Amino acid sequence: MNAQTPRWPLPQRDYWSTPFAESLLQHLDISPGLRILDVASGHGIPAFYLAEQVGPTGQVLAVDVSARQIARARAIQGPHLPCLRFECMDMRFLPPDLPTFDRITGNLSVMFFRPDRFQAVQGLVKHLVPEGQLVLTFPSHGTFDSLWQHVDQMMIQRGHIHERERFQTYLNERPSAKEAKSWLERLDLERTDVTEYPLEVATGPGREFLYHPLLRGGFLDDVYECFEDQDQAEEFMTAISDDIQRFTPLIAQRCVLSGWRKS
């Protein structure tokens, strides 16, 4: 690691991507001159930091399926960090002529690997050099369990049978640390590690909960989508939001999977 203070540190006001990136960096072996593929790169957390660490002799290719995110990242980058390149690309279907890399990283990436997460991870490993390292992070099954248990109980109490069936499907589809470990074993990687780190997400009741930037647009929307009647969904979720003492603190599980390709 560069001992100097980085010019491109992880943003401290990003209360979701940055904590996951910090857990990724705990497991990543990084040094100047490495070639890194960063998948699901978003607007550059941690791609900018990685590029500064590998330096001018290294290379970071950051890919994301969202053209809007890539455009935003390029705007942030400007003329800086020439060793860093952002490209719009689906990490599940990487070009076969894409070169191999010393490291492949993906912050908050695994949930986007649907429908076959193992196949997606397997495809990434093909682009690792022998003795190259793969490090991915994601919110694992168990994230916000206290909230989901309360939602489930409320659905039972209110007789939302079909909604509960859809809700259980959403929950069961989320990847677990155990599942991630099985991927690494099937891929015959070595020096494997799957670790979870808790992260508390603070919120107040009512609209603060319903429109929390780390909850809406993802986790809470899964509940709304269980209802065909969105007025009914809004009434249900409002009741949930007024009763947060039953499920707070909200704890996310930052899961990191890491493994090395055999030589």
Euclidean distance between CA atoms 56 and 18, whole angstroms: 24
- For residue 221, the model assigns a pLDDT of 95
Q: Which segments of the chain have a pLDDT < 50?
A: 1-2
- Greatest CA span in the chain, whole angstroms? 61
3-class state of residue 170 by DSSP: helix
Q: What is the pTM of this model?
A: 0.93
Euclidean distance between CA atoms 62 and 200, whole angstroms: 28
DSSP conformational letter for 174:
S
Euclidean distance between CA atoms 261 and 133, whole angstroms: 6
3-class state of residue 2 by DSSP: coil
Centre a 10 Å sphere on the Cβ of residue 71 and count the other Cβ atoms it contains. 13
Domains of the chain, CATH where assigned? 17-140+175-200+252-260 (3.40.50.150), 145-171+204-247 (no CATH)
- For residue 115, the model assigns a pLDDT of 83
3-class state of residue 228 by DSSP: coil
In Å, how far are 91, 118, 131, 165, 251 from 100, measured between CA atoms?
14, 19, 12, 43, 37
- For residue 88, the model assigns a pLDDT of 97
* C-beta of residue 17 within 8 angstroms of C-beta of residue 107: yes
In Å, how far are 35, 47, 61, 63, 257 from 74, measured between CA atoms?
19, 11, 12, 12, 28
3-class state of residue 173 by DSSP: helix
Euclidean distance between CA atoms 8 and 246, whole angstroms: 40
User: 136, exposed or middle or buried, with CB in 10 Å at 0-12, 13-18, 19+?
Assistant: buried
3-class state of residue 101 by DSSP: strand
- For residue 217, the model assigns a pLDDT of 81
* C-beta of residue 47 within 8 angstroms of C-beta of residue 71: no
DSSP conformational letter for 110:
G
pLDDT per position as a tens digit, 36-87: 999 999 999 999 999 999 999 999 999 999 999 999 999 999 999 999 999 9
- For residue 112, the model assigns a pLDDT of 86
* C-beta of residue 125 within 8 angstroms of C-beta of residue 98: no
